[in-house]
Amino acid sequence: MSRDSAAAPGVRIRGLTVVYKTPAGELPAVSGVDLTLAPGTITGVVGESGSGKSTLALSLLNAVQPPGRISAGSVEIDGLGDVLALGGEELRRARGRKVGYVFQAAQNSLNPLKTIGKQLLDLGRSHDVDDLRELVRDAKGLLARMGLDGARVLDSHQHELSGGMRQRVGIMLALVLNAQVVVLDEPTTALDMITQATILRIIREVHEERALTTLVITHDVGAVAEVADSLAVMYGGRVVEHGPIAEVLGGPRHPYTQGLIRAIPRLSGDISLARALPGRPPTLGTLPVAGCVFRERCDRRMEICDTVEPEPVTHDGRTVSCHATGRPSPAVKRREYA
Partner 1 sequence: MITGTAITKTFRQRGSVLGKRDVPALRGVDFAIERGGAVSFIGESGCGKTTLGRIIAGLETYDSGEIVIDGTPMSSLSHHRRQPYFRRIQLIHQDPYSALNPTRTIHQTLEAPLRLRARQTGRPRSWVDGRAEELLSLVGIDPGYVLPRYPHQLSGGMRQRVVIARALTMDPEMLVADEAVSMIDVSLRLGILGLLRDLRERLHVSVLFITHDIATARYIGDEGEVYVIYRGQVIERGPTETIIADPVHPYTQSLLSAIPVLHGLERPGSEQVVPTEALDEGQADAGCLFARRCPFSTDRCENERPVLSGDGTVQLHACFHPRRRSVIPQGVHT
Contact residues for partner 1 (CB under 8 A)?
48-49, 147, 163, 192-198, 200, 219-223, 225-226, 245-251, 259-261, 263-269, 271, 274-277, 280-281, 283
Least separation in angstroms between CB 280 and partner 1: 5
Least separation in angstroms between CB 256 and partner 1: 8
Cβ proximity to partner 1, 268 vs 307, nearer residue: 268
DSSP state of 172: H
Cβ proximity to partner 1, 275 vs 329, nearer residue: 275
The residues with which 45 forms a beta bridge, in sequence order, are: 217, 232
Cβ proximity to partner 1, 218 vs 325, nearer residue: 218
Which among 54, 13, 58, 10 is positioned nearest to 32, based on CA atoms?
13
Cβ proximity to partner 1, 81 vs 281, nearer residue: 281
- Specify the 3-state DSSP secondary structure of 24: coil
DSSP state of 85: G
Measured between alpha carbons, how far apart are the two ends of the chain, in Å? Answer: 46
Note the residue count of the chain. 338
Query: CA 206 → CA 172, 200, 202, distances in Å?
Result: 10, 10, 6
Least separation in angstroms between CB 110 and partner 1: 19
Cβ proximity to partner 1, 275 vs 330, nearer residue: 275
Beta-carbon contacts of 260 under 8 Å, excluding residues fewer than 6 positions away, are 46, 221, 233, 252, 277
Least separation in angstroms between CB 194 and partner 1: 5
Cis amide prior to 67 (ω within 30 degrees)? yes
Cβ proximity to partner 1, 306 vs 337, nearer residue: 337
Least separation in angstroms between CB 277 and partner 1: 4
Least separation in angstroms between CB 41 and partner 1: 15
Spell out a b/e string for 200-221, using b for 16 or more CB atoms within 10 Å of the CB, else e: bebbeebbeebbbbbbbbbeeb
